[in-house]
Copies of this chain bind each other. A is one copy, B any other.
């Protein structure tokens, strides 16, 4: 019996060492974002839609959608600012692709039709509200993921400063799409 207890203590010690070995950068594991430790929330693809958007720059040409978990959607609908703890917003970014098939069909009712659909996923961004854990960044933790893997620390250092101009909307740019 004494031996078993001793072994359990040893195992516990090893587990504790592993758990505390996360680097100072804040990266908890390979699936979590640097600095914030945000991971991709399970089931996000089925979350309710907040809005859609488009971004074109010198380098990217994207269609985008923002989805929210139940806490975030409820806050949006009720106009609750700041968002309550537990709110999660995900932004899905796809390449924007011209659809010649659609154009042909639409040319009848819509002369000059230029239709675009989503291509392949580019990246996804996650905002998690935890007013205590992320007190230094407006209560939000950020994560940017490509092919399921988080971007580097430099990328994540830009998250909060980029969102700061939306301070009066609790650092969230996207508004709930009316319908």
CB of A80 closer than 8 Å to a CB of B: no
CB of A58 closer than 8 Å to a CB of B: yes
The answer to whether B57 touches A106 (Cβ under 8 A) is yes
Q: Which residue of B lies closest to A117 (CB)?
A: B53
CB of A115 closer than 8 Å to a CB of B: yes
Docked pose: A49 CA to B94 CA in angstroms: 14
Q: For the A-B complex with A46-B73, A47-B48 known, give 11 more contacts whose Cβ atoms are closer than 8 Å.
A: A49-B67, A52-B64, A53-B63, A53-B116, A57-B110, A57-B111, A60-B110, A101-B165, A102-B173, A105-B162, A121-B179
Which A residues form the contact surface with B (CB < 8 A)? 45-49, 51-60, 63-65, 67, 73, 92, 94, 96, 99, 101-102, 104-106, 108-118, 120-121, 124, 158, 162, 165-166, 173-175, 177-179
